[in-house]
Amino acid sequence: MFSVVEAGGKQYRAAQDQELLVDRMPGEVGDSVELPVKFTADGDDFEFGDAGRVARVEILEHLRGKKLHIYKYKPKKTYKKRTGHRQELTRIKVLEVR
């Protein structure tokens, strides 16, 4: 059985006791949060969201992703720019789907 849950405007395929890496969520480590379920499949049976189903997840840790380097350059000019970005992430564990 798996479900499709929505977190931070993105959808993730999740099963019970699975860990996911999602965009930063509000809350402290150890908090339990409910996420809306968009789709649930169990063998040949499936149902779409909006039936009031939610997935209860636990926040395991807050972390930052790997650094992405961004370079900008214009030939024949003296323009060079270097910057970087690290996405703030949250590791969650799916406890149950109700």
Structural domain span for residue 50: 2-97
Structural domains of the chain, count:
1
With beta carbons less than 8 A apart as the criterion, state whether 15 and 48 touch.
Answer: no
With beta carbons less than 8 A apart as the criterion, state whether 53 and 98 touch.
Answer: yes
Q: What is the spatial distance between Cα 36 and Cα 54, in angstroms, rounded to a whole number?
A: 5
Integer CA distances (angstroms), 42 to 2, 12, 14, 45, 46, in order: 7, 16, 12, 5, 6
pTM (2 decimals)? 0.83
Q: Helix, strand, or coil here: 18? A: coil
Q: What is the spatial distance between Cα 20 and Cα 14, in angstroms, rounded to a whole number?
A: 8
pLDDT (tens digit, 9 = 90+) per residue, 38-66?
988 888 788 887 678 899 999 999 999 99
**Geometric angle at alpha carbon 59, from 18 and 28, rounded to 5°:** 180
pLDDT (tens digit, 9 = 90+) per residue, 16-39?
999 999 999 999 999 999 999 998
Q: Helix, strand, or coil here: 30? A: coil
